[in-house]
Structure 1
Amino acid sequence: MSSNSSTSHRSLELYTFSENHFEKHHLKNLDELESILGSDKKYWLNVHKSNQEGVFLDVCAYFDLHPVALDDIDNTEQRPKLEDFDNFILIVSKMLYTKSNIDQLEIEQISIAFNKNVVITFQENEYDIFDPIRTRLENPNGKMRKYGTDYFVYTLLDAILDQYYVILELISDQTEKLEDDIINDLKKVHLADIYKQRKSLQEIKKIIWPTRELVSAWRKSDSPFITKRSAPFINDVYESAVEIIENLEMQRESITTLVEIFMTNISLKQNEVMKTLTIIATIFIPLTFIAGVYGMNFEYMPELNWKYGYLSSWIFFLVVSLMMMYYFKRKRWF
């Protein structure tokens, strides 16, 4: 492990733990690790990039991570995957969260490098979903202190996948609300709202499918940093990934159904408008015909000189209109 330059203390958060030991450190620079790291304990170094552009490079150089690993960590457009190196295993995953509502869905890459006694998590921002893990780590009777680093990494992955459930539940709730609005008050809903839901599901699909492949690669790995003891736990993560995919497909079907309901309701509304216009036009057809007849400029039209001709024509118009409306009502056209 080589020496390194100073970094912001906000960027480096170190947890030292074993079955009978727990400490938390906020490091000002990586050189402080020399007096802390040893072989008898386990370590979790949580690195926030924040505004420190070189902090990932510094940490990778300090722990002698492969240059390919650094490229994977620094490139935030990576698909979730697992890479097996000689001195570390690297897992690239995606963390989903929302700070306000589902419309502001945040997708952040989080990379996890680990070996027998060190776990390093690389995050873009300080916000994360690992507070429950920090709390569990303080418990001296929990598995996290007794088991190896592979179990600790399992808890990180499990927390990431649990958040997928939370996001999918939020999307499901919003989908149900959209469905209610479409049925009860179509004016509240725009097609863009539905497609926004679909886009969120597509983003999650891009993440969860390779995540399942990642976990599958873990199950098949023969790395010395992965023990048989962690097999049941990683199987649990794999099953969670499969369940999320099934949930995702159900949500996509719901969105498709929602689009169909929306378009059907729009068509029904248009049909209602067209029916109303057709009824009005139909009522005015005989009236227009009568008005047209008496609007002709023939010289011999005796009704034109009749004293009550004008009044009679209005009475006739009203009678015809009411009779037609009564007929349409009987036919339940409106």
Structure 2
Amino acid sequence: MGASPGTLIADPSAKQSALNLTLISPDACEFINNASLDDVAAACEQWPLIWLDCVGLADIALIEEIGNIFSLHTLALEDVVNAGQRPKAEFFDDHAFFVLSMIDDAKSARYEQISFFFGENFVVTFQEREGDPFEPVRQRIRISNPSRLRHRKADYLAYALIDAVVDSYFPIVDATGDKVDAIENELLNAQPQPRPKEHIGELHGLRRATNLLKRTLWPLRDALTTLIRSDAAFISAETKVYLNDTLDHAIRLTETVESQRETMIGLIEMQLSLSQARTNEIIGVLTIVSAIFIPLTFLAGIWGMNFDHMPELKSAYGYPAALGFMALVAVALVVIFKRRKWL
């Protein structure tokens, strides 16, 4: 707060930084874990394409040195260390900057920011912590000829990595859809004893998760569109065709999430309606019972008054006659309620 533009300030909770270096040529590839800046500088001179992955954002000096090696813009680096950026694409003279959120742990649906820099012959990624969906890309790099990732430039590698991030959302979205379908089936085939509190709580939790997905995916479409429409010389027309496919995936994810959100809202409203209908049914039964007993209570009150000259007070058949009359009144009320379809 108050620092000059381009000043890098590490988050106190940021993880310690580590460098993973992937070196690529048409005929060979090499992976260096826990690489040093000397390894990076040497690779820039010897390999036609390199991918530097910085995991952890605590080491500001290291990040600044990476920026110096690849001539990365300081304002973009500032966005790297300030996690929580809205997905966006920005372009500079010889490189592009692309930032989005990714799921680094599918089981817990844990999100983190990942930032991409790419130019003519390099891709630099910055992750907040370990865990990413890039293993299929690494496997494709390891595969010998033919391999597009070995023969094409940095823009195609950047596309492959961005596409892996976007595709990693599909299992989460599909799992949410399965849960929603299961709740819907249970509600539509509800047993006499539904579980309204459990359903409502679960649906609200799913809706919160879906809202987070929507906030993450919606601006991603605009960022990808900006990337596709750019006239940067280091992004080829062929790569833009592949990026269009990634954009289609992002649009499909957004539409699916929005559909799930609307379904959950409908299910919540339906659950509330079912609960209200159940309450009304119970109140109706209690009202009918009360309506039957009101005249009986009235008769019992009349005959229970201890006056000396009450009719039939000393009759031998007075008690059974009173019970029989009250039973007749109760039966008559039940018949009347059934004819009126109140029961």
Residues of 2 paired with 1:299 and 1:77: CA distance?
Answer: 89
TM-score norm. by structure 2 comes to 0.86
Residue of structure 1 aligned with 2:274, choices 265, 279, 286: 265
Residue 136 (structure 1) aligned with residue 140 (structure 2): yes
Residue of structure 1 aligned with 2:263, choices 254, 257, 260: 254
Alignment partner, residue 163 of structure 1:
168
Shift of 1:252: 2.2
Residues of 2 paired with 1:53 and 1:77: CA distance?
Answer: 17
Alignment partner, residue 294 of structure 1:
303
Residues of 1 paired with 2:79 and 2:236: CA distance?
Answer: 25
Shift of 1:326: 5.0
Residue of structure 1 aligned with 2:56, choices 39, 49, 59: 49
Runs of 5+ consecutive residues of structure 1 not aligned to the other structure: 1-7
1:197-248 CA distance string (max 9 Å, x none):
2222221221222111111111121222211221210111122222222222
- Preserved contact between residue 16 and residue 56 of structure 2 (Cα < 8 Å): no
1:64-101 CA distance string (max 9 Å, x none):
3221011111111210001112232110011135543x
With 140-149 and 61-70 compared, the bigger mean Cα shift is at 61-70
Residues of 2 paired with 1:28 and 1:98: CA distance?
Answer: 24
Which residue identity does 1:21 align to in structure 2? A
Residues 62 and 311 (structure 1 numbering): CA distance in 2 closer, same or farther, change over 3 Å? Answer: farther
> Identity rate of aligned residues, in percent?
32
Residues of 2 paired with 1:283 and 1:259: CA distance?
Answer: 36
Residue 187 (structure 1) aligned with residue 195 (structure 2): yes
Residues of 2 paired with 1:266 and 1:61: CA distance?
Answer: 63
Which residue identity does 1:197 align to in structure 2? L
Alignment partner, residue 225 of structure 1:
234
Residues of 1 paired with 2:46 and 2:112: CA distance?
Answer: 32
Residue 205 (structure 1) aligned with residue 209 (structure 2): no
TM-score norm. by structure 1 comes to 0.88
Residues of 2 paired with 1:52 and 1:192: CA distance?
Answer: 41
Q: What does 1:93-132 align with in structure 2 at a 5 Å threshold? A: 93-96=100-103, 98-100=105-107, 104-132=108-136
Residues of 2 paired with 1:174 and 1:55: CA distance?
Answer: 44
Residues of 2 paired with 1:9 and 1:191: CA distance?
Answer: 41
- Preserved contact between residue 56 and residue 122 of structure 1 (Cα < 8 Å): no
Which residue identity does 1:145 align to in structure 2? R
Shift of 1:278: 1.1
Residue of structure 1 aligned with 2:18, choices 2, 11, 14: 11
With 242-251 and 147-156 compared, the bigger mean Cα shift is at 242-251
Residues of 1 paired with 2:56 and 2:341: CA distance?
Answer: 68
Which residue identity does 1:125 align to in structure 2? R
1:254-283 CA distance string (max 9 Å, x none):
122212211221121111111111111111
- Preserved contact between residue 105 and residue 131 of structure 2 (Cα < 8 Å): no
Shift of 1:154: 1.0
Alignment partner, residue 275 of structure 1:
284
Residue of structure 1 aligned with 2:75, choices 68, 71, 77: 68
- Preserved contact between residue 16 and residue 57 of structure 2 (Cα < 8 Å): no
- Preserved contact between residue 17 and residue 58 of structure 2 (Cα < 8 Å): no
Shift of 1:311: 3.5
Which residue identity does 2:94 align to in structure 1? N
Shift of 1:51: 6.3
- Preserved contact between residue 49 and residue 56 of structure 1 (Cα < 8 Å): no
Shift of 1:327: 4.9
Residues 10 and 79 (structure 1 numbering): CA distance in 2 closer, same or farther, change over 3 Å? Answer: closer
Question: Aligned residues, how many?
Answer: 324
Shift of 1:332: 5.1
Residue 175 (structure 1) aligned with residue 184 (structure 2): no
Residues of 2 paired with 1:248 and 1:138: CA distance?
Answer: 34
Which residue identity does 2:143 align to in structure 1? N
Alignment partner, residue 22 of structure 1:
29
- Preserved contact between residue 9 and residue 29 of structure 1 (Cα < 8 Å): no
- Preserved contact between residue 109 and residue 124 of structure 1 (Cα < 8 Å): yes
Shift of 1:324: 3.6
- Preserved contact between residue 54 and residue 127 of structure 2 (Cα < 8 Å): yes
Residues of 2 paired with 1:244 and 1:98: CA distance?
Answer: 18
